[in-house]
Amino acid sequence: MLGGLKSIVVRDLRLSMRRRGDVLNHLVFFVIVVTLFPLGVGAEPNLLRSMAPGIVWVAALLAAMLSLQRMFAPDHADGSLEQMLISAHPLGVIVVGKFVSHWLLSGLPVTLLAPVVGVQFDLSQQALVVLTLSLLVGTPVLSLLGGVGAALTLGVRGGGVLLALLVLPLFIPVLIFGAGGVTEAQAGMSASPHLSLLGAFLAMSCVVAPWATSAALRVAYD
């Protein structure tokens, strides 16, 4: 099972390196969205600090949305996904490999960029640390829940709009607790409750999302 998981992750990473433009699109989008707000609202430090958690988290959420359709659609188009479904490896392992590769290509780069873009909002060092930790815990949830939506809308005409309608309500708790943790850190309070709730969402998503995604993929091919 571990060998199958590793092969899926390595395969997806290699394919993504051949399509570097697709990988960079959501990162460039994230940086542009976060950068435009300070330019638009002015250089008022207090205003920027209060807006920063929500802006960064909304930008990360929208950047994740841009890459969700590529989780299964390319393999569905060329027939690779059908071969995976009938392979000897359990479908759940294949789905988890897809989740891991999607997070490595979308969530992890955004998490690493967050402290850099957070500097322009005059965030304190503690707030930057909490922002990075919240994204580190929260972005895998976006990949897991988004994968369920990507599987449900696989092959559907206008699937991009339907995908957004399905997953955006599921992302709201992650957005609230991720941004709330940074806000608490800025106020000098502990961000542990918010990070703990994000961890609980991650644990619950790790249990539910692979099963739900596997079921949705089987339905798509029935």
Q: Express the helix, strand and coil content of the chain in percent, nearest 5 each.
A: 85, 0, 15
Q: Are 185 and 126 in contact (CB under 8 A)?
A: yes
Q: Are 22 and 36 in contact (CB under 8 A)?
A: no
Q: Are 181 and 194 in contact (CB under 8 A)?
A: yes
Buried-state track 54-91, b at ≥16 Cβ within 10 A, e below 16? bbbbbbbbbbbbbbbbbbbbbbbeeeebeebeeeebeb
The pLDDT value given to residue 57: 92
Separation of CA 193 from chain center:
21
pTM, rounded to two decimals: 0.88
Tokens at 173, concatenated: 């708790």
Element (H, E) at 218: helix 192-221
Per domain, the residue ranges of the chain are 2-221
The pLDDT value given to residue 161: 77
Mean pLDDT, 10 residues at a time, the chain of 222 residues: 76 80 82 85 80 90 85 78 76 87 90 88 88 94 90 76 85 92 87 92 92 85 68
The pLDDT value given to residue 158: 65
The pLDDT value given to residue 202: 94
The pLDDT value given to residue 38: 80
